[in-house]
Amino acid sequence: MLLRHGESEGNAQSRMQGRRDYPLSALGREQAARAAAFIAQSGLTLNAVYTSPLKRAFETAGILAEMGVRPQALVDDDLPEIAAGSLEGLNEAEIREAHPEFMHRPLRETGDFADYGGESNADVQARLTRLMARLEARHRVAEERVLLVGHGGFHYQLVKALLCEPIPRICILKFGNCTVSLLRMRERRGLYMGELVFHVPVELMGGTSGEGAGRFFR
């Protein structure tokens, strides 16, 4: 199960966050509470919860715990958002001024920030491969259900890697703030692959999406 964090102060300001550490906004805290209620009411038992160390995800995981979602989240250093280098902290107008070429890159290049001192697509693939190998070693035999609290850009890359072989560069799947996704992993003719069971935005939980599902992975 994947949960993107609630709206952050950076989201509310339409800024490219990356590893920039913004806290949740008031709306983000309300979204996190709705996601916590949704997960609790789903009846799906969680065997482990892991969270990104960045405030917007860590605070979201804390709200889940306050509302009775168990077990308590453990920080995983491979779950942070994709590092965006010199783009971090900038809004769209500032990006257009400082890095006008970024706005005109083809879609297949939008998840790669190597040109700006951030992570390349290869860096991200290596990180998510490392994460999944570790989770598989810990939880696969017992067929456990694991919740990852993290970020839209990294979750997007993670879902592509779990569902597709080979991994595509382009896939249109929107991760708004506090979207909850469930993937079921199965052996398929020698490959360990996933199927997307549900992908629920916060609006379907009775909440408001706010401005957190904008153009950029942030």
Per annotation, catalytic residue among 59, 81, 88, 119: 81
Residues in CB range of 83: below 8 A, 6 or more apart: 18, 19, 113, 118, 119
Helices and strands (H and E) in the chain: how many? 6, 6
Per annotation, catalytic residue among 5, 7, 59, 151: 5
Return the structure tokens found at 114. 């190597």
- Which residues, listed in sequence order, are joined to residue 191 by a DSSP beta bridge? 188
Q: Is 5 a catalytic residue?
A: yes
Residues in CB range of 153: below 8 A, 6 or more apart: 81, 82, 111, 217, 218
Q: SS3 for 18-47, per residue?
A: CCCCCCECHHHHHHHHHHHHHHHHHCCCCC
Q: What is the sign of the dihedral through the CA atoms of 206, 202, 1 and 57?
A: negative
Catalytic positions, written as ranges = 5, 81
